[in-house]
Amino acid sequence: MDPIKFRCKECHKRVEAQYTLDSVRASLARQEDTIIFALIERAKFPLNNFGHNRLFGSDEYIGSMINGLVLKTEAVQSKAGRYINPEENPFFPENLPPSAAPDYPFSEFLQGAGASININKEIWEVYFHELIPMFIKCGDDGNHAQSVLADLTLLQAISRRIHYGKFVAEVKFRESPKIYEPLIRAKDSEGLMDELSSESVEERVVKRVERKATVFGQEVSLEYDVSGDTYMINSVASKLYKKYLIPLTKKVQVEYLLKRLD
């Protein structure tokens, strides 16, 4: 099909990501919506585990279907430049092809060795062993490719949220270097964790997520659920945040800060 031809003077205008306390909070709130939409979309499908442990019938690689499909999709995305954005972290970084997209001057906001922290292996385990069993019914509707793509969309949204902790930590460090520097030099993980934690803020986030999931999921349970059963997206979303997303984001923040002065 023909390439797209529309163009205007503003087309090439750069829209730079901002990292301030306000913008970081706004981004985290916006990411909640993405995660909830992705939860709802994944819930459309049953487990579809049928192909997960089988060999993916390809001569190019051997592995479970889900690994293969995610790896292949990440390779296509990598070539198109996804991972030159420091907010993005691949699940299979080992053999990714380099970006073939035009260079883009992403902000060099992150500092130190912590910029390359990637805890996606842990996120992958949590996702398939903790989260999926929470809200996905067993069964096979044949839509394996579609449900793996829904898995990947949700995994990417969760991963972006958790690794966004690096940006949160950097913003906080720049706001109060006098508080963080001594803790970092003393390698005081617990002190850093205390400094980064706020029970009241975290509770507010969990409550907001639960409310959002109720709002965004309301039509789904009204219309999709013919049998009176519900997907319980609101309790899943708030549990996901409370048990995994908030603790893992803080873990990334502490790890990032410990390497901030290296």
Structure tokens that stand for 212 in this block: 């959002």
Secondary structure in 3-state letters for 236-252: HHHHHHHHHHHHHHHHH
Which CB, 60 or 190, lies closer to a second copy?
60
Region of residue 6 (left: phi > 0; alpha: psi -120 to 50; beta: else):
beta
Handedness of CA 144, 123, 249, 169 (dihedral sign): negative
CB 117 to a second copy: min, Å: 17
- Which one of 182, 201, 215, 229 is in contact with a second copy (CB under 8 A)? 215
**Footprint on residues 75-94 left by a second copy (CB under 8 A):** 76-82, 84-85, 88, 91-92
Distance CA 187, CA 257 (A): 9
Distance CA 89, CA 6 (A): 32
**Footprint on residues 44-73 left by a second copy (CB under 8 A):** 44, 46-47, 49-54, 56-58, 63-69, 72-73
148 is a site residue for a second copy (CB under 8 A): yes
218 is a site residue for a second copy (CB under 8 A): yes
Which CB, 9 or 178, lies closer to a second copy?
9
CB 8 to a second copy: min, Å: 5
CB 181 to a second copy: min, Å: 31
21 is a site residue for a second copy (CB under 8 A): no
Provide the 3-class DSSP secondary structure of residue 31.
Answer: helix
Region of residue 111 (left: phi > 0; alpha: psi -120 to 50; beta: else):
beta
- Which one of 111, 112, 113, 143 is in contact with a second copy (CB under 8 A)? 143
175 is a site residue for a second copy (CB under 8 A): no
Distance CA 157, CA 126 (A): 14
201 is a site residue for a second copy (CB under 8 A): no
- Which one of 164, 180, 216, 241 is in contact with a second copy (CB under 8 A)? 216
